[in-house]
Structures are given as C-alpha cells and as structure tokens.
Amino acid sequence: MAHHPDRIVREAAEALGARRNAVALTGAGISVESGIPAFRGAQGMWEKYDPMEYATIGAFLKDPARVWTMLSEMVDVFSRAAPNPAHLGLADMEKMGVLRSVITQNVDGLHQAAGSRKVIEFHGNTEELVCLACFRRYPSRERIREGIPPKCECGKILKPNLVLFGEKVPWVTQEEAEAEAENCAALLVIGTSAQVTPACDIPLISRRKGAVIIEINPEETFLTRTITDLHIRESASVAVSRLLEEIREILPPS
C-alpha cells in the first residue's frame, strides 16, 4: 500500500515521540549536506580511491604513505565541514529525551560538533593517531601539522584510530552498539547504504527486538524493502527537520 509522504513522517514522529526511546544509526549520507562526499555512488570517495588500495589494513601496512593521500584529503575536508540541520536535529532530539544515542559509521566528528552527547563511533575517528609498531598515541592535529604522512617518534608512519577494511570493530564498541540496538523502541537509520558489516546488522538486531525501523534516505537501500517500516525518501536535513516539527507538536512543551 502506498503511503502519502506526510503520513509517513507523521507515523515516524509518533513512533519517536510517543515511545521516547529511539537510537539513530547514521552513515556517510548524513554528512553529504555538510560537503563531505559519501563513499558509494557517482560522487563517492570510492570512485576516486579504490578501497582495496586505500582503505584496507593490508594496504596501510604495505604502503602507509599512499593511504595517507586519501586520508589527508579526508581530514582536510572534515576540517572545513560544519554540522548540518540533520546532525543538529539529532542533538535536539537527544535533549528532548526522544533519542538516547547515535551510533555512527562516520569518522568526521560532526555529531559531537552538533552537540550530541552519546555518540558511539562504530568506525572510530580521525582525532587520534596510533603507532602500529610501538602503540604510542598522538592527537592528530599536532602530528599532521608536522607533515603528511604523520610519523611517530619511533619513525613509523602513524595510523588514524579508525577501522579500515580487514580490521575489527573494537569489541567494546560492538557490545555498546548492540546493547543500544537491542533496547530501543525505534531505530532511525539515516544516510547509510547498509552494505558494510557488522554495522548493517544493527537494524536487524533492533527489528528482532520489535523496534520500528525508520529509514531516511533519498534512495532505496538493502533495508528498504526488507526490514524498514517507514521510509522517508528525503535528504537527511529535510527529513530530520520535518520529523522534529512533528515531534514538537506531539510532545507537551517542557
């Protein structure tokens, strides 16, 4: 049965507002309107950089300087990006007591910049650099200022503390994300193509526990026709702003 778009937003807002126990799972799409390209698709990072050559742990171990050509471009784009209405809207939802946490696959730090307090960075971040030889850690900015690729005092090229393909999501992060996924009444899936495991299993975990799955994406994904209950087919900033308006109408003013 075809649903009217306004009706879908209304139903989603009701699921979020009435239950006040939602979790968001975000991907690269939420930051597109902040000027950060997504990974897949025509304008995506993986068109320019083959992930097998630039985004695997094997590639990094073999030629870290080469991988840093991609990483430095990423870090540079991040440094010029600011949160958009979607990031800001999620932070508002948390303050309103509607959203309990954000699980993000992004490594751009924009959820924290927007004011979200509980953020699980599923794929890590670029704030910290680690040495794979001697395990020393450094704040990124300080080391990158000295030159690209950034080096450890031991001489080795440093790796950002993010999860490359072939690396495992840290056990603690995985546990924390699963606990959030299991205990929410609604999961807001925003701007992810849901193709990378284990992040793409999160919606499944929530669904099995009976959560309503709300998807925000201008396109269809692997989830849309399988486990998504409500698909808001809009850009993240438009959809989150509309949801917020509706939630504010439902919730009594605090």
Active-site residue set: 123
Nearer Cβ to ligand OAD (1/42): 42
Residues β-bridged to residue 165: 56
Nearer Cβ to ligand OAD (15/36): 36
What helix, strand, coil percent values describe the chain, rounded to 5? 45, 20, 40
Nearer Cβ to ligand OAD (101/106): 106
For the bound state, the minimum distance from the C-beta of residue 153 to ligand OAD, rounded and expressed in Å, comes to 27
For the bound state, the minimum distance from the C-beta of residue 33 to ligand OAD, rounded and expressed in Å, comes to 5
Nearer Cβ to ligand OAD (165/173): 165
Note the Cα 49 to chain centre separation in Å: 20
For the bound state, the minimum distance from the C-beta of residue 169 to ligand OAD, rounded and expressed in Å, comes to 9
For the bound state, the minimum distance from the C-beta of residue 44 to ligand OAD, rounded and expressed in Å, comes to 5
Total residue length of the chain: 254
Residue nearest to ligand OAD (CB): 29
Side chain identity at 118, as an amino acid letter?
K
β pairing state of 212-216 and 186-190:
parallel
Q: Which residues bind ligand OAD (CB under 6 A)?
A: 27-29, 32-33, 38-40, 44, 51, 55, 105, 123, 163, 165, 191-193, 195-196, 216-219, 221, 235-236
